[in-house]
Amino acid sequence: MNKHHLYEKNKCLCDDDILQRSPKKQIKLEEDESVNDEDSDADVGEFSHPIPWQKLEAEELDCDYALLFSKGEADDLFTRLEEEVVYSAGDDAKVQVFGKVYNIPRKQATYGDTGLTYTYSGITRSASPWTPTLEYIRETVTKATGQTFNFVLINRYKDGRDHMGEHRDDEKELDPSCPIASVSLGAARDFVFRHRDSRGKGSSRQIEPVKLELAHGSLLLMNPPTNTFWYHSLPVRKKVLSPRINLTFRRILLSRN
């Protein structure tokens, strides 16, 4: 059976630090997991800010997960984003899949550095200027990860009926060496990874999907080569009645023309 590991990411990891769990089971990280004062100044390797990172691993899947914002700050950021973010409408709120155009089952917006564009699912999006709140969140993510980002795709889910289908963030504009940093605010939602070789009836291998719950104020870092081999989705959850905002920070390669 395929195994994945979830463990604290420190400078040095021992075998005793690794928690093995079946990928059939949901991984739920409680908000009360925190770093004590003695650990707050600890060296965390490549990460520049000492937050309680957890490692999520499976075959060709490498992710880091942490609660980046306290509940109070996450509540405030959610409220500010509701006031600042302008979402796409009309034709800009549609997506092309296998030649057919569909309404996106959630709201979307794109922000970033001047002149940047991002093309996915047959649609090209231009970056709106950073808002003060988006700038603040981006700076916080950079301090936590040591990575720089010049673009963010925002998805707003009004409730559990809004969803996102299986896909990979592997567009050519993206810097393949840079992770994608996903910040979640609002309702906690299940997030599911599925290996490309195990999708569909004609799949060549049996690899169990990996599922975790993305909490309010959390950060999921999807490191290479995750998006090459694993699809991810946010399934419908009808019992979820409150909204969620997700921000995926990316590094888009600048044109050399």
Instruction: Output b/e per residue, 240-249; b: 16+ Cβ within 10 A.
Output: beebbbbbbb
On whether residue 67 sits in a domain, the answer given is yes
Query: Is 244 marked within a binding site?
Result: yes
Distances (CA, A) of 169 to 5, 64, 69: 23, 17, 25
pTM for this predicted structure: 0.78
Query: What percentage of residues in the chain have a pLDDT greater than 90?
Result: 63
Query: Is 216 marked within a binding site?
Result: no
Residue 103 contacts residue 257 (beta carbons within 8 Å): no
- Span 177-229, pLDDT tens digits: 999 999 999 999 999 999 999 998 888 889 999 999 999 999 999 999 999 99
Query: Is 157 marked within a binding site?
Result: yes
Q: How far apart are CA 112 and CA 110, in angstroms?
A: 7
- Span 142-175, pLDDT tens digits: 999 999 999 999 999 999 999 998 999 888 899 9
Query: Is 170 marked within a binding site?
Result: yes
Domain span at 156: 56-90+119-250
Query: Is 98 marked within a binding site?
Result: yes
Query: Is 90 marked within a binding site?
Result: no
Instruction: Indicate the number of domains in the chain.
Output: 1
Query: Is 7 marked within a binding site?
Result: no
- pLDDT at residue 137, rounded to an integer: 98
On whether residue 45 sits in a domain, the answer given is no
Query: Is 10 marked within a binding site?
Result: no
Query: Is 232 marked within a binding site?
Result: yes
Name the phi and psi angles at 103, rounded to 5. Answer: -70, 135
Query: Is 250 marked within a binding site?
Result: yes
- Averaged over 87-110, what is the pLDDT? 66
On whether residue 147 sits in a domain, the answer given is yes
Distances (CA, A) of 66 to 24, 29, 196, 213, 247: 21, 9, 26, 12, 15
Query: What percentage of residues in the chain have a pLDDT greater than 70?
Result: 72
Interstrand relation of 123-126 and 117-120 (parallel, antiparallel or unpaired)? antiparallel
Query: Is 80 marked within a binding site?
Result: no
On whether residue 146 sits in a domain, the answer given is yes
On whether residue 107 sits in a domain, the answer given is no
Q: How far apart are CA 66 and CA 79, in angstroms?
A: 21
Query: Is 248 marked within a binding site?
Result: yes
CATH number at residue 212: 2.60.120.590
Q: How far apart are CA 31 and CA 124, in angstroms?
A: 37
Query: Is 79 marked within a binding site?
Result: no
On whether residue 28 sits in a domain, the answer given is no
Residue 56 contacts residue 5 (beta carbons within 8 Å): yes
Query: Is 146 marked within a binding site?
Result: no
- pLDDT at residue 38, rounded to an integer: 40
Quick one: DSSP state of residue 127? P
